[in-house]
Chain A
């Protein structure tokens, strides 16, 4: 069956460092991969979308890579700030509805 894996353990990093979050998938051939941010008690908010034929996408301090051979996406936040602390969800779509991973919590300490 289709499976999306995100690191269940929280990622703790120091302010100013680069945070790297991982999304792995199996039994899936996604056409699109999206990343969302979710704060406690709030709905997910869209951050970035990358297509299967794209290797990398950037938006300000955010960068997403998509490796369809490794079946993996990496999500980077450079120069991280305490305000970046949140749960980050990856979501995949293979020409149908989005399927979400469980998310990884990021904690950025001052």
Chain B
């Protein structure tokens, strides 16, 4: 079991460029999440999905888009990158939705927008 796999690990983008952060899990979890973590700050929820074809906004969704075509994959799309999107991005998955079970996190993607 690989758990939650994120790619790439590091990326530098220029302002206005676009990119997709990949996330895959092999635990057959219906629930998947994207968080961003800024220095000294807690994890902020960007988007989440409760199953293939169903996504919803979290606390900080502006500037991002997601899709969920399969149970395994939950990519995060950045359109027109801005310096404010410089952050570490974590993908996570869980068996249940409500915090009743643990969340499994990927290793993170460190993104710098210059």
Contacts and interface: CB of A to CB of B under 8 A. Distances in A.
B53 interface: no
Contacts of A103: 42
Interface residues of B, number: 24
A84 B86 CA distance: 29
Contact of B102 (A43, A46, A95, A101): A46
A46 B108 contact: no
Contacts of B48: 97
Contact of A102 (B41, B92, B97, B102): B41
A44 interface: yes
Given A42-B107, A43-B105, A44-B105, A101 B42 contact: yes
B40 to A, nearest CB: 7
B43 A44 contact: yes
Interface residues of A, number: 26
Interface stretch (A61-69, A73-81, A86-94): A86-94
A43 B98 contact: no
Interface in B63-114: 90, 92, 97-108
A91 B102 CA distance: 10
Given A4-B42, A8-B40, A43 B106 contact: yes
Interface of A: 4, 8, 30-32, 34, 41-46, 49, 89, 91-93, 95-103
